[in-house]
Amino acid sequence: MRAYDALKRRLAQGWNTWNTRSVLSHVLLPEGFALNLGLKDRASRRYLKESLIGRRGDRDERIHPGLRTYDGAYTELKLLWLGIEVLVQSATTGEAQEDLVLLVTLQSQHRRAPLLVVEPGVLWNRPGYVTRQGDSLLGHFEGRTVEVYGTHSIVTDPYIAAQTPYLAIPLEGPVGVSTGRRRTIAEIQALLAERRAERAAYAASFGELADVYAAVQTCMAWDTIFEPEADRVVSPVSRIWNVGWGGFVLFDWDTYFAAYLAAIDNKDLAYANAIEITREKTERGFIPNFGTVTNLKSRDRSQPPVGSMVIRQLYQRYGDRWLLEEVFDDLLEWNRWWVAHRMHDGLLCWGSDPYTPLSDAHWEVTGVGDRLGAALESGLDNSPMYDDVPFDKETHLMQLADVGLNGLYVMDCEALADIAEVLGRDCAVQELRARAADTRVVLAALWDEDRGIFLNRRTDTGAASTRLSPTNFYALLADAATQAQAERMMTGHFYNSAEFWGDWIMPSISRDDPAYPEQSYWRGRIWAPMNFLVYLGLRRYNLPKARADLAEKSRRLLMKEWLEKGHVHENYNPDTGEGCDVANSDHFYHWGGLLGLIAFIEAGVLEGPEVPLTDSAA
């Protein structure tokens, strides 16, 4: 069996919160047998059938995620809905962790106790069926029957909005559910206490980084799902985004970053995310901005090329040569695609190629072959950097040589060349090193001596753009700056409170930019991937203070809402450090964890990209 096939089988086993539609849906793989926990408020007669982290409606549930393992051996969360507050815990047990126990504890007072509804089902049209036998449920599958028992007497309520047999149990005290055999409340509580203590001890083993680890890992684990269309375990950006896109969506650089986040202590999940987003490569040879249900992809545009860097780091950490062999040819084709389709006079520009979409899906047709599509390719969708930049309909390029893209591209070439050396692909090594060197030279020419920073340049007029973003620092990723230039960028811009410095950093456009007060998405908000990439660039130079300051301020930003609310945000306010102040900042978007990943690298727990790579890791 191929190494990756074996890895996929290891991941897609046992009980876990695999169902993207609800964090209270516990699913057994490979059968697809689901136990969905719902609540019925007997005052309003409303039924909460599916629960997600980060919903914001006045009558929506609020979830505070707690400790959990990646593999579902232990999970916990608190849920508040219509005044009903419950603690929900789960654990697996048995020789192969094939049995599940659940405990739901009501933590609010009610005149009439709400109902816990245990609704079974068979997901993703897999073979099998469910029945109820007295006060127990049965899941029937080829060669296996799974029994489900409650710890309390069930009640009859034929008006619950369920489509299968179910158990309805009043929450008049802690209520337990178990599979395999009947268990008492005491047995379930003892098992949960044991599993929770194990998880807490493991998190504590990270010492001063324990809270950072909890934020990064908890968000990654709750965002990890089983994606049935391609029969894979992956970590999309959040469950709310998945549901909004019809089932799942994988974004390019987001998913590569998810692989880096998982690499702290989950090799299999890190590999799966990196491989699966690479497999989304289009027929044209590039990794798309997005891949979603029924093979819909952004076939006009890619996204920032961070894949080779992440794969290099996974190899640096775990040393599996087969991972490099699995993805190298696809990454090389993507690397060449940039030169063939996005190059103008030796420098890369963002673009969007016209094509005939397969559907009328909004993001498959919006902006295609136009400036918006090119801005979406940058990953910085509404950045003010691109407001007044024209789009060339003949070349399909935004008329701006972008410092950020070119810095990322040199990093991609160098990382891929390192991988090629390990694999003995000598011709590719020479090709990639030469391409990195050529791009580095022309990127270095974007240095503006008067401003003391690298500036984007208009390709139609030759004029420099004075709008500043953290992407202007990405030239450091390419070693395009001298040490003196790097130091000048720090004193003149990084530590400049009128631009990027402050209590909370780094804003996605400089604080003195006219668009900064808007604080809408990439128009001023702090984004973890920007901090992360600037930090990686700083590591290539002798800038220890700037590096440490960025690491500490990023950690503080992540901890602010994590410790207060259990949130890991998509983006943050650079004046207050809040994530909840706007509607377009997802509460539980895993790349927010990159703020914590910086701390892991700074502390030496993970390697940085400047560490030499050799075949000795294999």
Residue 607's pLDDT is 81
Structural contact between residues 556 and 178, judged by C-beta atoms closer than 8 angstroms? no
Q: Which residues share a beta bridge with 15?
A: 28
Structural contact between residues 561 and 553, judged by C-beta atoms closer than 8 angstroms? no
Q: What kind and span of H or E run contains 451?
A: none
Tell me the mean pLDDT in the region 399-426: 98
Structural contact between residues 573 and 526, judged by C-beta atoms closer than 8 angstroms? yes
Q: Which residues share a beta bridge with 297?
A: 291
| Alpha carbon distances (Å) from 495 to 208, 547, 553, 585 | 26, 12, 13, 26
Tell me the mean pLDDT in the region 309-313: 98
Give SS3 for 372: helix
Q: Which two tokens stand for residue 151?
A: 């710890």
- What is the number of other CB atoms lying within 10 angstroms of the CB of residue 376? 25
Q: Which of 160, 270, 110 is nearest to 593 (CA)?
A: 270
Q: What band does 1 get if pLDDT is binned at 50, 70 and 90? A: low
Helices and strands (DSSP H and E) totals, the chain:
16, 26
Q: Which of 61, 39, 65 is nearest to 51 (CA)?
A: 61
Domain made up of 207-607: CATH architecture: Alpha/alpha barrel (1.50)
Residue 618's pLDDT is 41
Cα 562 from chain centroid?
16
* Alpha carbon distance 121, 475 (integer Å): 52
Give SS3 for 58: coil
Least confident range of 255-269, 358-372, 573-587, 588-602: 358-372
* Alpha carbon distance 417, 439 (integer Å): 14
Q: Over the stretch 160-183, which tens digit does the pLDDT of each residue have?
A: 999 999 999 999 999 999 999 999
Residue 562's pLDDT is 97
Question: Considering Cα of 63, then 74, then 585, then 38, what sign does the dihedral take?
Answer: negative
Structural contact between residues 260 and 249, judged by C-beta atoms closer than 8 angstroms? no
- Which residues contact residue 112 at a Cβ distance below 8 angstroms, ignoring those fewer than 6 apart? 42, 43
HSE at residue 315, side-chain half, CA atoms within 13 A, is: 32
- pLDDT above 70 (res 139): yes
Cα 294 from chain centroid?
21
- Which residues contact residue 566 at a Cβ distance below 8 angstroms, ignoring those fewer than 6 apart? 64, 65, 66, 218
Tell me the mean pLDDT in the region 440-450: 98
How would DSSP label each residue in 177-229? EEESS---HHHHHHHHHHHHHHHHHHHHTTGGGHHHHHHHHHHHHHH-EEETT
Q: Over the stretch 21-33, which tens digit does the pLDDT of each residue have?
A: 999 999 999 999 9
Least confident range of 184-188, 222-226, 348-352, 364-368: 364-368
* Alpha carbon distance 291, 581 (integer Å): 29
Structural contact between residues 291 and 249, judged by C-beta atoms closer than 8 angstroms? yes
Quote the mean pLDDT of the chain. 96
Question: Considering Cα of 463, then 469, then 474, then 480, what sign does the dihedral take?
Answer: positive
Least confident range of 70-74, 114-118, 159-163: 159-163
| Alpha carbon distances (Å) from 485 to 243, 542, 543 | 46, 12, 11
* Dihedral angle over CA of 501, 504, 509, 514, nearest 10: -90
- Residue 242 backbone phi and psi in degrees, to 5: -60, -50
Percentage of the chain beyond pLDDT 90 is: 94
Residue 374's pLDDT is 98
Structural contact between residues 220 and 616, judged by C-beta atoms closer than 8 angstroms? no
* Alpha carbon distance 64, 62 (integer Å): 7
- Predicted model pTM: 0.97
Q: Over the stretch 521-564, which tens digit does the pLDDT of each residue have?
A: 999 999 999 999 999 999 999 999 999 999 999 999 999 999 99
* Alpha carbon distance 603, 551 (integer Å): 9
- Which residues contact residue 158 at a Cβ distance below 8 angstroms, ignoring those fewer than 6 apart? none
Q: Over the stretch 584-618, which tens digit does the pLDDT of each residue have?
A: 999 999 999 999 999 999 999 888 777 777 654 44
Burial classification of residue 618, based on how many CB atoms lie within 10 Å of its CB (0-12 exposed, 13-18 middle, 19 or more buried): exposed
Q: Structural domain boundaries of the chain?
A: 3-204, 207-607
Residue 236's pLDDT is 98
C-alpha Rg value of the chain to the nearest Å: 25
Residue 614's pLDDT is 64
HSE at residue 132, side-chain half, CA atoms within 13 A, is: 16
Percentage of the chain beyond pLDDT 70 is: 99
Q: Which two tokens stand for residue 123?
A: 């997901």
Q: Which of 63, 88, 239 is nearest to 176 (CA)?
A: 88
SS (H, E, C) 417-434: HHHHHHHCCHHHHHHHHH
Tell me the mean pLDDT in the region 134-163: 95
* Alpha carbon distance 34, 18 (integer Å): 9
Under CATH, domain 3-204 is a member of which superfamily?
A: Glycosyl hydrolase family 63, N-terminal domain (2.70.98.110)
Tokens 């929506």 found at: 60
